[in-house]
Structure 1
Amino acid sequence: MEGAQKPGASGTSWSRPRPRPPGGERRRLIGCPTPMADAPARADAYAGGLIPPGPTMRQRLLVLALLTGLTACQQQPQSPRADATAPAANQAQTPDARFAALSKQALDTWMQLSPVTATQTGDHRFDAQIDDLSAGGRQRSVDAGKKLLATLDAIEVAKLSRENQVDAVILRNQLQSEIWNTEVLQSWAWDPQVYNGLAGSALYSLMAREFAPLPERLTAATQRMEKIPSIFAQARENLDPARVPKIHAETVAKQNKGILSIVDSFIAPNISQLGPIEAARAQAAIDNLRKAVAEQQTWLDTVLVPNAKGDFRIGAEKYDQKLKFALLSSLSRADIKQRAESELKRVRSDMYRIARTVLKDTPGAPKLPESPNDDQQQAAIEAALELAYADKPARDKVVDAAKAALAQSTEFVRQKDLMTLPDSPVDIILMPEFQRGVAVAYCDSPGPLDKNLKTFYAVSPIPDDWNDKQVDSFLREYNTRMIQLLSIHEGTPGHYLEGWHSAKFPSTLRAVLRSGMFAEGWAVYTERMMQEQGYLDNDPLFHLVQLKFYLRTIANAILDQGVHVDGWDRDRAMHLMTHDTFQQESEASGKWVRAQLSSAQLPTYFVGVQEHLDTRKAVQDKLGETFNLKAYHDKMLSYGAPPVRFARELMLDQPIE
């Protein structure tokens, strides 16, 4: 979900991995984006961070990569791609063959320049290495990106197959985004999350998934632990306290020691599985890392935090460019704002109509006039939501509720024949302890190159140390109907099902650069689609909760530009979230922090669902009575999760632009 992963993020070219989805983000971290619409990237959360930085290629990789793909879903023959067999000599100069070679070159370049990204993606050639964030490393990344762009410029894109035309646009956008991030946005100089996230991801990506025997992964982790102090040294060298926003400095100061939780949970308890020499080396690396973390903490507390004076708002010019890279959408910032504000009014009106129905015979209900004023509308919706909040699982039944909801949503899709279902179920697991307390459930898929690894649907019990007030607040938000929505969003027919379909597309380049906006937009689309199809017997309170969840998506889009372009303060942001969109105070407070720490990522959910809805309408208008919902869904999911506009152009046989 949120966090999921996209171009236009802060950071150095080819670096800045984010262990996700989750968020997203996240996702997760690849395949199925983040744990929930508002959850942080899980690996960052594990490393001590609660809010993911801006969306990057790595965040998309960790939060949104698919399950892996070999077989084409397309009906037309496939042209050569980066992962295709090398073309015959007589084909070597065709545009498609040249693009296939360039795609492979780009992927190899990225993996070599960002070993942590390579691990997250499933390329394990560089598991013992770590990214170079020094001035020299940044320049090598920029030079490599410009060289790849020059090669792409020499290819006649108009002569490529339509699928390769799409990938060419995606590749160009990624290359330009990474160069812009380094040369213009310069997050390496003002965002300490860049370094904190990389350090945590370097270890988490090795230990979280069993892509190789444990001793092999421990050996690689040892070598990375030996190198992580250099990341901290580069942070101290690169960051200019005068440019670092206070909120970024304070957040990373709180997160810094979190990397040790990865060591203590995954590495230290298992070093006995190594031979004596390797175990001694691992222990020495752990001891040295503890010292390096302590040294970094002292610098954060005594130098960076006291002297941080930067503005977290990136301003209109940078925001617009970053948004363009992140979305690859035809919608401008003004378009997004207009649509979101219009949707906010429409959805609140729909919620009021539902409230009038469910409160009609309720004792003590507020006034319910047909044409309410703002206060009457607010009171009625809040009263109706209280009915939904009251229906929540017992403290010790959250896991059972999430499992049952996933089974129920899957069976509904099967009975309604809404789309082709995966031929094997997702593995349901108990959420690791360090990830609990943020989301009830999330979907976690391996990197796109990690073949034959499982996808997990993780469900969380409530932490044992939570008091009754914390439990009640959490379960009000994640009530029985909200758990149903999460299972739709994260599982079936949301992220898990989408990832399974997308994995069949043959382009490795598209798998690595898959669109977080497509994935998150699809997951939000399925929430609405399931309600429209009559899920839970057309339960009006489910519809009400679904609309409330959608309001969060709308608020994200408005909030992001409100903060970074329009100069919103906390009071205005909190009013939007707690009053206009009915979010809990704690949830909104966390989102306010997140909006300061990231930019151009929060709108991806809203823009994604809008483009999915627009595309479905366009196809329905074209096909008329011959439109078939299952055929449409399967076709939409067959393209490997490019930005939605390209799926639309492919589906409607429009020019690729």
Structure 2
Amino acid sequence: MSIRTSLVPAFAVACSAAFLPACSTSPTQPAAPPAAAVSQDDANASFRRHVDAVLEEMWKTFPEQAIRAGNYKYAGKLTVPDAERRAEAIAFYDRQLAALARIDVATLDASNRVDHGLMKSRFESRRWYLTTFRNWQWQPSTYNVGSEFGVILNTNFAPLDARLRLVIERLEKVPAYYAAAQASVADPTLEYTTLAIVQNRGALRGFGEDLQAKVAASGLTADEKALFATRVAAARVAIGDYLSFLGALEAKLKAGPARSFRIGKALYEQKFAYDIQSGFTVDSLHKRALAEKAALHDAMEVKARELWPRVMGGKPMPADRLVMIRAVLDQLSLKHTTREKFVETIRAQIPSLEKFVREKDLLDQDPTRPLLVRETPLYMRGVGAGASVSSPGPFDPKANTYYNVTPPEGLTDEQTESFLREYNDWTLQILNIHEAIPGHYLQLVHANKSPSVVKSLFGNGAMIEGWAVFSEKVMLDAGYDNFSPEIWLFWMKWNLRSVVNTILDIEIQTMGLEREAAMTMMTREAFQQDREATEKWLRATLSQVQLTSYFNGYAEITALRDELRAKQGAKFSVKGFNNRFLSYGSAPVRDIAKLMR
């Protein structure tokens, strides 16, 4: 369960490179709204002009962010992540925060007040990442040119020849980019070093024979093709040098000592505040998750007892309820697709989800916004997430949305069977609800139609992941799979994963939870297969806070829905709530709640 939006929105989510934007050397300062007293209409109009000016400067300053947002005006510019660039980025954020401070928020309407807050929070957050968190030093995987090249090559925003010329232009700076990367990396973790190797090998393959054949068959001139050949060769050497640097670094870190992947309580609480923007504190969310885990065990016991006679026959029922629940889940999990058909099985399920949402009238859809299922690109693999969505930004909303699926390749037969049991016939459907319909894909379709570009661009991960989890319950409440006890039991297990994600992340990063105890929690208390638990431990060493976003967002959206349903009574509409909630882009749930009230 992950989204690359996320801005991997493509918005995936939560992309380390997004925290290392580059700046122009001579940025223009957008004019702040006038200080004189004005009417609210004038103040709102002035603020919107300010937003437009800030965004235009942002695209010029941070072209990689622009590409992920669907703005290709500066797509030929590849920024070099050196010390000068970081200083310029900090100056950009300082300038924007000063301009926002001069705006009288009281003169703005509710929607613009939220946008003002989102911009302030985003610029403060990015500044904090550069100056305090400093992951540009200890996360070598931050440095990877593959993503934006992939967007340019795979998005039909211009004729292929024009896009290949952008590729040639960007290729010029790849050697300088990786030289700056090597100079920036200091005291990295072993886990991020290994990830950087995996993903940059994928990036290297992206500049291989397929791309070279595409250029050879294009309408580029002979001089352009020759320039491409020179620059792509230099880029491949630069990536190869970075891989050699990482390989030596990995060997040194394995010999020890190496920096811990745990960031500690103080940094964790700061990161949580910036990333999640929640009504919960870290401690209150942890307590809420522990209580929810116990409640889900109670509910799963009821369903497992109901299913036992049919699933387990005359076998005696264990006294330990967790063992009993696990036995039912394990037996049902034997029903699954095959390694060879895994991606195709997912692709084939999408139309039935669209049909169910349409027939139950749960949420508006848009058949003009395509969703394509594909195998996860190599430069995006290695983070322990088997599925994700890469969505176009609001400036190119009709571009393809990709549902990235990582098939169980390179695994032993035993590991493959463990993987397929985890994603059995029921869980695979829930995964598709979460990632595609009506989860991430539909949420991002709605976000790109929001009249507020700020609410779409500055997406909140807890809202995005929370909606995907919330949408699963919407489908089951509407009778998906005919209210079968099997789908409900597996949804509870799936929902328990979100809850345990929160517990794990907080306890691993701030309480020193060790691998063995974490594995026991996942396999015994969350009923996960060994393969899934192993991948989740890997993911927990490669992220901080993001794993809390699922349960945090789900809890806040559910509470808002319940509040409005109680107030509206018979007038409450599931579709009305869903459409209106998603109309506010990807703003934090607490801000959407203010607007919906």
Question: Partners of 2:209 and 2:456 in 1: how far apart?
Answer: 30
- The equivalent of 2:45 in structure 1 is 97
1:114 aligns with 2:62: yes
- The equivalent of 2:504 in structure 1 is 559
Mean Cα displacement is larger for which, 516-525 or 453-462? Answer: 453-462
Deviation at 1:179, TM superposition (A): 1.0
Per-residue CA deviations over 1:465-510 (Å, capped at 9, x if unaligned) read 7664444233212211122112211222212222222222112222
Question: Partners of 1:587 and 1:461 in 2: how far apart?
Answer: 13
Answer whether contact 1:202 1:224 (CA < 8 A) is retained.
no
- The equivalent of 1:377 in structure 2 is 321
In structure 2, what residue type is equivalent to 1:331? F
Answer whether contact 1:29 1:445 (CA < 8 A) is retained.
yes
- The equivalent of 1:207 in structure 2 is 153
> Relative to structure 1, is the Cα distance of residues 261 and 168 closer, same or farther in structure 2, using a 3 angstrom cutoff?
same
Q: Secondary structure at the match of 1:642?
A: coil
Answer whether contact 2:304 2:328 (CA < 8 A) is retained.
yes
Indicate which of 639, 644, 657 corresponds to 2:589.
Answer: 644
Indicate which of 128, 138, 157 corresponds to 1:190.
Answer: 138
Mean Cα displacement is larger for which, 396-405 or 556-565? Answer: 396-405
Question: Partners of 1:26 and 1:55 in 2: how far apart?
Answer: 7
- The equivalent of 2:317 in structure 1 is 367
> Relative to structure 1, is the Cα distance of residues 429 and 328 closer, same or farther in structure 2, using a 3 angstrom cutoff?
closer
Question: Partners of 1:187 and 1:439 in 2: how far apart?
Answer: 21
Deviation at 1:425, TM superposition (A): 6.7
Deviation at 1:554, TM superposition (A): 1.0
1:623 aligns with 2:568: yes
In structure 1, what residue type is equivalent to 2:96? L
> Relative to structure 1, is the Cα distance of residues 54 and 334 closer, same or farther in structure 2, using a 3 angstrom cutoff?
farther
Answer whether contact 1:102 1:148 (CA < 8 A) is retained.
no
Answer whether contact 1:524 1:550 (CA < 8 A) is retained.
yes
Question: Partners of 1:427 and 1:122 in 2: how far apart?
Answer: 16
> Relative to structure 1, is the Cα distance of residues 366 and 466 closer, same or farther in structure 2, using a 3 angstrom cutoff?
same
Deviation at 1:385, TM superposition (A): 0.7
Question: Partners of 1:301 and 1:428 in 2: how far apart?
Answer: 35
Deviation at 1:218, TM superposition (A): 1.7
* RMSD of Structure 2 on Structure 1 (CA): 2.8
For 1:566-585, what aligned pairs fall within 5 Å after superposition? 566-585=511-530
Question: Partners of 1:144 and 1:489 in 2: how far apart?
Answer: 36
Question: Partners of 2:566 and 2:428 in 1: how far apart?
Answer: 34
- The equivalent of 2:34 in structure 1 is none
Question: Partners of 1:546 and 1:53 in 2: how far apart?
Answer: 31
Question: Partners of 1:582 and 1:396 in 2: how far apart?
Answer: 25
Q: Secondary structure at the match of 1:639?
A: coil
- The equivalent of 2:221 in structure 1 is 275
- The equivalent of 2:247 in structure 1 is 301
Answer whether contact 2:204 2:236 (CA < 8 A) is retained.
yes
Mean Cα displacement is larger for which, 277-286 or 187-196? Answer: 187-196
- The equivalent of 1:10 in structure 2 is none
Per-residue CA deviations over 1:217-265 (Å, capped at 9, x if unaligned) read 222222222212212211222222xx32222223323443221111126
Answer whether contact 2:193 2:249 (CA < 8 A) is retained.
no
Indicate which of 108, 124, 127 corresponds to 1:160.
Answer: 108
1:322 aligns with 2:266: no
Question: Partners of 2:406 and 2:547 in 1: how far apart?
Answer: 24
Mean Cα displacement is larger for which, 637-646 or 439-448? Answer: 439-448
Answer whether contact 1:403 1:459 (CA < 8 A) is retained.
no
Indicate which of 190, 195, 198 corresponds to 1:246.
Answer: 190
Question: Partners of 1:565 and 1:325 in 2: how far apart?
Answer: 17
Deviation at 1:57, TM superposition (A): 9.5
Alignment length, in residue pairs? 574
> Relative to structure 1, is the Cα distance of residues 626 and 93 closer, same or farther in structure 2, using a 3 angstrom cutoff?
closer
In structure 1, what residue type is equivalent to 2:359? Q
Indicate which of 539, 549, 555 corresponds to 1:604.
Answer: 549
Per-residue CA deviations over 1:296-342 (Å, capped at 9, x if unaligned) read 22222334651573222211111111110101111100111011111
Deviation at 1:396, TM superposition (A): 4.7
Question: Partners of 1:422 and 1:303 in 2: how far apart?
Answer: 48
Question: Partners of 1:96 and 1:457 in 2: how far apart?
Answer: 38
Question: Partners of 1:156 and 1:317 in 2: how far apart?
Answer: 32
> Relative to structure 1, is the Cα distance of residues 451 and 637 closer, same or farther in structure 2, using a 3 angstrom cutoff?
closer
Question: Partners of 2:521 and 2:209 in 1: how far apart?
Answer: 39
Answer whether contact 2:393 2:448 (CA < 8 A) is retained.
no
Deviation at 1:456, TM superposition (A): 4.3
Answer whether contact 1:55 1:601 (CA < 8 A) is retained.
no
1:495 aligns with 2:440: yes
Question: Partners of 2:509 and 2:376 in 1: how far apart?
Answer: 35
Deviation at 1:613, TM superposition (A): 0.4
Deviation at 1:607, TM superposition (A): 0.7
Mean Cα displacement is larger for which, 632-641 or 298-307? Answer: 298-307
Answer whether contact 1:98 1:155 (CA < 8 A) is retained.
no
1:485 aligns with 2:427: no
Unaligned runs of 5+ in 1: 5-19, 35-40, 42-51, 59-81, 83-89, 653-657
For 1:474-553, what aligned pairs fall within 5 Å after superposition? 474-553=419-498
TM-score, length-normalised on structure 1? 0.81
In structure 1, what residue type is equivalent to 2:215? I
In structure 2, what residue type is equivalent to 1:264? G
Q: Secondary structure at the match of 1:330?
A: coil
Q: Secondary structure at the match of 2:207?
A: helix
Deviation at 1:91, TM superposition (A): 8.2
- The equivalent of 1:79 in structure 2 is none
Deviation at 1:131, TM superposition (A): 2.1
Per-residue CA deviations over 1:334-355 (Å, capped at 9, x if unaligned) read 1110111111111122111111
Question: Partners of 1:466 and 1:593 in 2: how far apart?
Answer: 16
Answer whether contact 2:418 2:530 (CA < 8 A) is retained.
no
In structure 2, what residue type is equivalent to 1:260? L
1:334 aligns with 2:278: no
Question: Partners of 1:26 and 1:92 in 2: how far apart?
Answer: 32
Answer whether contact 2:350 2:432 (CA < 8 A) is retained.
yes
Indicate which of 97, 109, 119 corresponds to 1:171.
Answer: 119
In structure 2, what residue type is equivalent to 1:284? T
- The equivalent of 1:13 in structure 2 is none
Answer whether contact 1:427 1:456 (CA < 8 A) is retained.
yes
Answer whether contact 2:370 2:399 (CA < 8 A) is retained.
no
TM-score, length-normalised on structure 2? 0.89
In structure 2, what residue type is equivalent to 1:162? A
> Relative to structure 1, is the Cα distance of residues 263 and 245 closer, same or farther in structure 2, using a 3 angstrom cutoff?
same
Q: Secondary structure at the match of 1:565?
A: helix
Question: Partners of 1:467 and 1:180 in 2: how far apart?
Answer: 43
Deviation at 1:147, TM superposition (A): 0.9
Question: Partners of 1:547 and 1:285 in 2: how far apart?
Answer: 52
Question: Partners of 2:369 and 2:564 in 1: how far apart?
Answer: 30
In structure 2, what residue type is equivalent to 1:526? S
Answer whether contact 2:265 2:510 (CA < 8 A) is retained.
yes
Deviation at 1:288, TM superposition (A): 1.1
- The equivalent of 1:287 in structure 2 is 233
- The equivalent of 2:336 in structure 1 is 392
Question: Partners of 1:575 and 1:141 in 2: how far apart?
Answer: 43
1:348 aligns with 2:297: yes
Answer whether contact 2:397 2:445 (CA < 8 A) is retained.
no
Answer whether contact 1:398 1:460 (CA < 8 A) is retained.
no
In structure 2, what residue type is equivalent to 1:171? M
- The equivalent of 1:85 in structure 2 is none
Question: Partners of 1:577 and 1:204 in 2: how far apart?
Answer: 35
Question: Partners of 2:547 and 2:67 in 1: how far apart?
Answer: 26
Answer whether contact 2:419 2:531 (CA < 8 A) is retained.
no
Per-residue CA deviations over 1:427-458 (Å, capped at 9, x if unaligned) read 44454675899878654432221143233456
Per-residue CA deviations over 1:591-619 (Å, capped at 9, x if unaligned) read 22221222121111111111110100111
Unaligned runs of 5+ in 2: 22-29, 31-37
In structure 2, what residue type is equivalent to 1:419? L
Indicate which of 312, 322, 333 corresponds to 2:261.
Answer: 312
